[in-house]
Each structure stands twice: as C-alpha cells, then as structure tokens.
Amino acid sequence: MQTRMHLLIVWLIAFVALLAVVYGITYHYLTTRHKERMALLEAGLDPGSFQNTTRSNPFLLMLGIVLIGISLGIGVSFLIELISGYSFARLPQIYLMVLPFFTGLSLIVCYRVGNRLYARPSHPL
C-alpha cells in the first residue's frame, strides 16, 4: 500500500512539473512577443511587419521533436525495466539515465532540422 502511494506521489509531482514547464515556456514566449511588439510600436515601425509570412510554425515542429524524444526515452526505460525485471522502485536510475539522453538527442535533431529549415529561402504559397 505504501509503495502505491509513493508511486502515485511521484507521478503527481512529475505531472505538476510538466505542467509548470509548459506554462513557463508559453508565458516566456508570449511575454517576449509582446515586448517585441511594444518596442516596434515605440520605434514607430509597423507591427504588421512582425507577423510571420510562412505558413508553418517551426516552434511547433521543434516542440513536437522534443516531445517525441521524451516519449521515446520513457518507452525505452519501460522496455529496459521489463527486460531487466527491476521495477522503478528498485532501480530509478534507468529513467534518470535514459530520459535526459533521449531529450538531448531530440534537441540535437531540433538543431539540425532548424539549421536546414532556416538555410532554405522560404517560398510563400
């Protein structure tokens, strides 16, 4: 009973931390965008020039790649847990090693995709 409660608390803390990260990234993105718009208005420039002319949003692409990397890390951790026979309570180091590895790997993929995306001239449809 105590291990189930401990596991529930761990998952609850992880969920709250994930929500806090998503909120923090969204807040930072929106406030930075607002400050840039206000700086354009103070400089006397047209705020319409601030809008993106491409139809795709590279931020969403990068976020998707990172989330795929995190989910791959969780999936590989579960597979290692199943193959080795150790539970999360006995060997939490599996998650502490595999999740940052796959997250970092996905960030490297984001960097490479971003370089290729911004190297090409965009053609509006």
Same domain, 67 and 125: yes
Instruction: For residue 125, name the pLDDT band (cuts at 50, 70, 90).
Output: very low
Same domain, 60 and 121: yes
What is residue 49's predicted lDDT score, i.e. its pLDDT?
66
In this structure, the answer to whether residues 66 and 123 fall within a common structural domain is yes
62 and 18 in a common domain: no
What domain range includes position 44? 1-51
Same domain, 39 and 86: no
Residue 104 burial (CB count, 10 A): 12
- Give the confidence band of 123 by pLDDT, cuts at 50, 70, 90: low
Q: What values do phi and psi take at 120, rounded to 5? A: -80, 140
Same domain, residue pair 85 and 47: no
Neighbours of 53 (CB within 10 A): 7
Neighbours of 112 (CB within 10 A): 11
Kindly state the average pLDDT of the residues 86-96. 76
Q: How many domains does the chain have?
A: 2
The whole-number pLDDT of residue 30 equals 85
Residue that the structure tokens 């994930």 belong to: 18
Tally DSSP H helices, then E strands, for the chain. 3, 0
- 125 and 76 both lie in a single domain: yes
60 shares a domain with 34: no
pTM (2 decimals)? 0.47
Measured on CA atoms in the order 100, 104, 109, 115, is the torsion positive or negative?
Answer: positive
- 75 with 95, same domain: the answer is yes
Residues 79 and 32 in one domain: no
- Cα–Cα distances (Å) from 46 to 32, 51, 62, 122, in that order, read 18, 10, 28, 22
Q: Are residues 75 and 88 in the same domain?
A: yes
Q: Is it the case that residue 110 has pLDDT exceeding 70?
A: yes
Six token digits for residue 103: 């997250």
Together in a domain, 43 and 2:
yes
